[in-house]
Amino acid sequence: MYSRIAVVSLLLSLSASVHAAVPAPLSAVLAQYGCSYIADDADVLRHRDRWWVSLKPFTGGDGDFTFYCQVAADPLSFRLMVVVGGENNLWRDCDPVVQSWRDSPPWFPYGLAVDNASPHYARQTDLGRWWLVSSSSNANVTYGPVGVKVPEPIIDTVGSSGAGALYACYARQWYQIGLD
């Protein structure tokens, strides 16, 4: 009996700590962009990879984040977003919506980081190997200019699965490179 109480107590405290780990400014951003508040969802609580990252180390702003958004009005629609409210916006020229997609049944992605491309992804620093996110669903994918270094920092969606993509903002456009 005591072990059941201890387990329930532990689960409740983990749930509360994950819920508390979502800062108030992120909750406000989620509401502003019409995203479902998923922090207390059972799948989110069970999963270990991150679905949001503070951009404060890069921008200095408490309300700056990159995150996955499940659209509240359409639970099959998802977005990868970068929202920066302050002046030090390294992604200022690009739209806050990096990429959007639909999944049925709904699958919420995990595994999000922000990093410099150079040390971790040294072979992927030439923008000529990256393609425009907006052209990825077209028959003719548009690649970036050859010889241009990928602007840093990058949004990394590879996570612990080892599959995903890297995203960078260049000349008012989001570029990506797949690492499946």
Per-residue pLDDT of the chain (180 residues; tens, 9 = 90+): 444 433 333 333 333 333 447 899 999 999 999 998 876 666 666 666 788 999 999 999 999 999 999 999 998 999 999 999 888 999 999 999 999 999 887 777 778 999 887 677 777 889 999 999 998 777 889 999 999 999 999 999 887 666 688 999 999 999 999 875
CB neighbour burial string for 95-127, b if at least 16 within 10 angstroms, e if fewer? eeebbeeeeeeeebbbbbbbbebeeebeebbbb
Q: Please enumerate in sequence order all residues whose Cβ is within 8 A of that of 157, keeping only pairs 6 or more positions apart, or say none.
A: 80, 109, 111, 112, 164, 165, 166, 167
| Domains of the chain, residue spans | 22-178
pTM of the model: 0.82
* DSSP assignment of the chain: -HHHHHHHHHHHHHHHHHHHTS-HHHHHHHHHTTB---TT-HHHHH--S-SEEE-HHHH--TT-EEEEEEBTT-TTEEEEEEE--SS--TTTTS-SEEEEEE-SS-------EEE-HHHH-GGG-BGGG-EEGGGTTSSSPPBPPTTPBPPSSEEE--GGGT--EEEEEETTEEEEEE--
Pairing of strands 165-170, 154-156: antiparallel
- In the prediction, which pLDDT does 5 show? 39
The pLDDT of residue 79: 94
CA distances from 82 to 33, 145, 174, 180 (A): 11, 23, 11, 22
Q: Read off the tokens for 122.
A: 């040294």
